[in-house]
Amino acid sequence: MLKTTLLKAIESAGQVLKENFNQSFVVSNKEGINNLVTEIDHKSEAVIFSIIRKDYPDHHILSEESGDLAQDSSYKWIIDPIDGTVNYANGIPICCVSIGVEKDGKMELGAVYNPFMNELFFAQRGFGATLNDQKIYVSDQPDIVKSCLVTGFPYTYLDMANGPLQVFEKFIRKGIPVRRLGSAAIDLCWVAAGRFDGFYEHKLSAWDSAAGFLIVEEAGGKVTDLQGKHYNPYQPGIIASNGKIHDRLLEIVNGGTLN
């Protein structure tokens, strides 16, 4: 039942994104330059809420636009109605809906849907990860120098040692391809599908990674925080990889050098 509700919610929200893409809609700004929210974010969120509330009216919901709608429940739905809003607002079809379902503090289900590419990623803890119902697995690239990586940058830049630009520069100076798609949920799913070998980002919110990190783990990958500790989506930093380059990626993000 949980899976059915999750898939219905994410597919319905994806249809909202598709129907309104490249149409005229209201765009406003949140904290930080270009941290956008559109009326379509709110429409997508409303559709998701209505489907969840119909089946599970007592479940806890955490959503990017409405915040923490706490209830006394062991289940929590963690929702990003549009991950990649800047892309969406500019007519760039690299964006998605992301929903994770947590039980007693542990992520159990995750789904990410990009309706423009017709790609629905799904994972259930202990049952593997799929793309459009076909099993997916992380890559087997063992050499970080030969890897294809992906990252993102926060709207409010983090002026810190080994910050986003410093780490990015290290890879670029060695000719290692590092992409920047503008959607952390898609970044994670593409690691899970073996398109990227690794992903790192210094500052995310729970709704950015809740579904995606489970999808990576269930595809055979590894996900930690920036210190290499057990990952949870309520802290900002993340490293996700095929597992084979993880230690090296962790080392470089924390100040190590590339030979």
Rounded Cα distance, 232 and 184, in Å? 15
How do strand 238-241 and strand 75-83 relate by DSSP bridges? unpaired
Tally of CB atoms within 10 A around 107: 24
67: CB partners within 8 A, 6+ apart: none
The three-state secondary structure class of 242 is coil
Instruction: Tell which residue, 223, 217, 219, 228, has the closest CA to residue 252.
Output: 228
**Which residues are known catalytic residues?**
64, 80, 82-83, 85, 208
Q: How far apart are CA 17 and CA 48, in angstroms?
A: 12
Give the Cα separation of 120 and 162 in Å (integer).
34
Residue with structure tokens 């996900």?
223
Going by C-alpha positions, the residue among 108, 106, 107, 104 that lies closest to residue 74 is 104
For residues 93 and 117, the answer to whether their CB atoms sit within 8 Å is yes
| Structure token digits, residue 206 | 């729970």
Task: Enumerate the β-bridge partners of residue 37.
Answer: 28
Two structure tokens written together for 94: 């690299």
Give SS3 for 40: helix
